[in-house]
Structure 1
Amino acid sequence: MRHIRSAPALAATTALSAAFLATAFLASCGTDGPPPRVPMPSNVPTSPQFADSDAVVAALGRAGIPCLVTLHTAPEGASTTECTATLDGRTFQYEVEVFDLERFSRDEIGTAIATGRTVHHQTFVAAGNWHVAAIDPEYAPRIAQALGGVVLPGDELKIPDYPLPAIPSSPRFDSVESLAAALDSAVGCEDHDADPGGSLTCRTGSRVGRSPNCAVLRLHPSDADRDHYLREAISHPAIPAYLATGANWSVNLCDYGLADRVAADLGGVVVSYDGN
């Protein structure tokens, strides 16, 4: 269930680390066998086909869409490359997956895409034997043009108007770097990685004897923007989220056990969802 707590309302729970990138897998579910197959949409062309995900990444690079590889895997019959790209001063992510059609049918690929679109609300670009999950749907048309694929929008994620706690009007931070400094004093905030979009990531936990884990720090231009961001963070089915938040800031923590400590030390409250 979704929990909305003032810090420190609960003792820190067992540390759970999670970095969720929503993906669709060609796999069975439980003991009832694989889910019913969903054919590839009829508007998805059968070409071009690529040998592997590296070939797709190379084609995107030639079209001016870069890839800083964050993960590459090659299970039997498929290959996957996760990328971070920066265009026009904005950073976004995408994931390329290519399948061997001698091992996987287009219906199986279609099933994977359908799962991502309906369950995880992802937007895909697809053709031939591949798909690209566009984590930021805004870039999907450009990816489709570069690769000769079509855009398959994800189902709209409806964000309920969850009640939020009374959020203190202070302290306020004048920059995300000053928020990072406060977080560092509380629990640690090392290896900063600033996003041109305004957020900052770092590793937490070093100052309180916990294993380093990720945190995403963000400043919000208005209360409405902050509240929308909080509600969106706790609205994804089966994906836990623990955030410390205050006047014009939020810290989305991968180490859930730090949420109460961070909120208390920074003068905020906790908004969380345990994934159920």
Structure 2
Amino acid sequence: MRKAAVTGAACLMILVLTACDAFTRSSASPLVPLPRSVPSEPRFGTADDVVTALERAGVDCEVLRRRQGQAGSGSSLDCVFEDQGATVETEISVFDTDVVEEGEIGRAVDSRRTPPNGQVLVAAGNWYIRVLPDDTPSHALKVARALDAVVLPPLYPLPDIPDTPRYERVGALADALDESVTCTRRKETAEGLLCATKARSDELCSGSAEGRDAGLRLHATTAARDDYLRLLLSEERVPRNIVTAGNWSIQFCDAETARTAAEKLSGGIVVHEPR
């Protein structure tokens, strides 16, 4: 796992506040609404307020540097914390919405997420945070949970995904999977369900849960499904083969098992290669 650098390049941030990447009201590019998944709260007055909120949630983030721009436009800073043995750097950007329109924040968020930038962000209210390293979403998820925010993955292109079939319960999806490649030894989790398929044991990927090689999940909306798929694509780990359609997705360790399941379940395949 790569560790985040604790000294940043001069142009790390896309902000109102930096000379490196002008975030101005006169920009010719159109305004972009924030994604609908971004909650309107919490809102913060300064980037230091975000650090305080992180500390209240048990994330002790040490401030490296502060950035201050035009009066009233907002504030930003970089801080680091330790998580799972890694040094995690956060670039916190807070905006004064009396000065900066929401669409300007949305434009900056969209620019950061669009390849080749492809950044993982945490966002809510009038702020967003880049969490480094980008290829380890668990760090961003920790920050999002601490601040009641959402993780916005890079806007990697996805293949055409069928609108159907759809399932009301993850158990029903497991039953359908069982008819194609089997789904035994089922174990429910907070996110969905794990089970074992007929894939050869030597094809199981590292980290599989006690030999369970398929991870099933339902998604509330199409946008939530796509965000989840893109978050998987941002993670640097062993390859995963993802089958998806409608309101569901299944991760497989074995490519051949994924192809068979996709055909039987009328799903599409998203292939994840390590970055």
Normalised by the shorter chain, which TM-score bucket?
Answer: 0.3 to 0.5
TM-score (norm 2): 0.46
TM-score (norm 1): 0.46
Higher relative contact order (CA 8 A, sep 6+): 1
